[in-house]
Structure 1
Amino acid sequence: MEEVIDLKEIIEILKKNLKLILGLAITFALIAGIVSFFLIKPTYQSESQVIVNQKGKNADVYNNPGEVQTNLQLINTYSQMINSKVIRKQVVDQLNLDVSEKSLQPMISVTSEAESQLMKINVAGPDKKETAEIANALADIAQKEVKRVMGVDNLSVFSKADVDEETAPIKPKPLMNVIVAGLLGLILGTAIAFLRSMLDTRLNTEEKIDKYIGLPTLGKIYTIEK
């Protein structure tokens, strides 16, 4: 016969295991807080922007759809150039960074919105001033390299990262981590509580005797405290 747990039993299970559930939630939240605040190094992100557009043609460029389309097609090429070994090496040399150019690769991301000639150069790292300097150096060097390699002067620096700007780290997010960990602790504690209840086959309460055997209770034996 299929066993059905009613609302009253659910509440009783939760009340009986309340310390376990809250204990796991608090423990998980504390661990997440300690790890987020003290063990994980903060990561900062800086952004510079470049725009693909022929210099001196700002007034009439949008009257020429063919030229705009060409600029849009170049964005993918320029994105790869910006995070290329050649440009990363120049950034390391220019800023005298104590890292290899290869280690910069995962720190850099270049994105652009659909049908937009604006490209965003994002650099993420543990030093917020250094990330801003790298983002700006990438924009400047990319502009020069495009002119040298492609033979066209159609990449301009639109905006630079503020080296002295006070910015919050993009990760970790301590509050979010604590909340998520606490919720996971609640879920785990609740799951353990119901599992313990399902595995407990003892007939140690009047309710269980009445439910599973259907016999009346003739008497009770109380615990006498000494």
Structure 2
Amino acid sequence: MPVEETISLHDLFRVLKRRSVFIISTALFAVILTGIISYFFLTPIYQASTQILINQKQTEQIQVNAQDIQTNIQLINTYTVIIKSPAILSKVIENLDLDTTPALLEKKIKVETTQDSQVIKISVNDPEHYKSVDIANTIVEVLQEEIQILMNVNNVYILSPAVYLENPLPAKPNPLLNMTIAAVSGLMIGVGIAFLINYLDMTVKTERDIEELLGFPVIGIVSPITEVEVNKIKGLFGRIWGRGRQDV
């Protein structure tokens, strides 16, 4: 009949306490390694953003009814596709003389829309801050020109252009966030390895281990003898031996 092994909460804390140095060391190693990689090996990526407003058509009417707004919102999905299309990005590459392709440039661009809104946010990521600003603003400029040909309308308005910053902060990597994640991951890995080592460790360390291994209760324990006690025993036997020789 198989014997089921169980582990109590006390055993869990005992393993954690015994392996605490190893667990903490694993977490510290993960944090230090991640910090070195984040600060010295990962290329900083800067982000520039611009916002544009899309209307259905340019009109001299002051009042805009709800149906017009709903129609404008329906155009947003079409414009998000047009913004990242080769028709726009090829012109951007040409105007800025970029050494890239529309497919590669598209990966740097993120187009965001808000529900029930006619506003589109265009964000560009690049290792150089000034280049991300130039690309974001040029996309809007090219869009304003090309949309008149593609859609026969002039309905793209700039709400906030991308601006140059004197001391820009990179959008990624985020070293502090990466190190926090590394600390949590390191602790989890350390705990997992600690329990694995404890599970694979078959050495006998306590009387409880003997009871579990042999299935018999422990009725006596031989206490360890210190070096001082060993010296005392040696001295006692030495005196007894000396007296015995004198009697002879």
- Normalized against structure 1, the TM-score is what? 0.90
In the alignment, is the contact (CA less than 8 A) between 1:206 and 1:217 conserved in 2? no
1:60 equivalent to 2:63? Answer yes
Match in the other structure for 1:178? 179
Structure 2 match to 1:7: 9
Match of 1:34 in 2: 36
**Could you list the per-position Cα deviations for residues 104-129 of structure 1 after superposition, in whole angstroms to 9, with x for gaps in the alignment?**
11011212111100111111111111
Q: Could you say which residue in structure 1 is the equivalent of 2:236?
A: none
Q: Secondary structure at the match of 1:158?
A: strand
Does residue 134 (structure 1) correspond to residue 135 (structure 2)? The answer is: yes
Q: Which of 18, 21, 34 is the matching residue for 1:19?
A: 21
- Which residue of 2 is the match for residue 85 of structure 1? 86
State the Cα RMSD in Å: 2.1
Deviations 1:10-42 (A, max 9, x none): 222112212211111111111111111111111
TM-superposition CA deviations, 1:159-183 (whole Å, max 9, x none): 1011235432221111111111111
Please give the alpha-carbon distance, in whole angstroms, between the structure 2 residues aligned to 1:6 and 1:100.
61
Q: 2:205 — aligned with what?
A: 204
**TM-score between both structures, scaled by the size of structure 2:** 0.82
Contact 1:140 1:157 survives alignment (8 Å): no
Q: Is 2:148 the counterpart of 1:147?
A: yes
Q: Measure the CA separation in 2 of the matches of 1:177 and 1:204.
A: 40
* Cα 1:57/1:115, change in 2 over 3 Å: farther
**C-alpha contact (below 8 Å) 1:88/1:104 kept by paired residues:** yes
In the alignment, the residues of structure 2 paired with residue 181 and residue 219 of structure 1 have an alpha-carbon distance, to the nearest angstrom, of 45
Moved over 4 A (4+): 223-226
Cα distance between partner residues in 1 of 2:206 and 2:108: 62
**Residues 117-155 of structure 1: CA distance to partner in whole angstroms, max 9, x if unpaired?**
011111111111111110011111101111122111112
Amino acid at match of 2:162: A
Structure 1 alignment gaps of length 5 or more? none
Contact 2:54 2:118 (C-alpha < 8 Å) held by counterparts:
yes
Mapped partners of 1:142, 1:28: distance in 2: 46
Give the aligned partner of residue 188 of structure 1. Answer: 189
Rounded to whole Å, the distance in 1 between the matches of 2:43 and 2:193 is 34
Aligned twin of 2:237: none
Gap change, CA 1:214 and 1:59, over 3 Å in 2: farther
Letter in 2 for 1:59: I
The sequence identity of aligned pairs, in percent, is 33
> Radius of gyration: which is bigger?
2
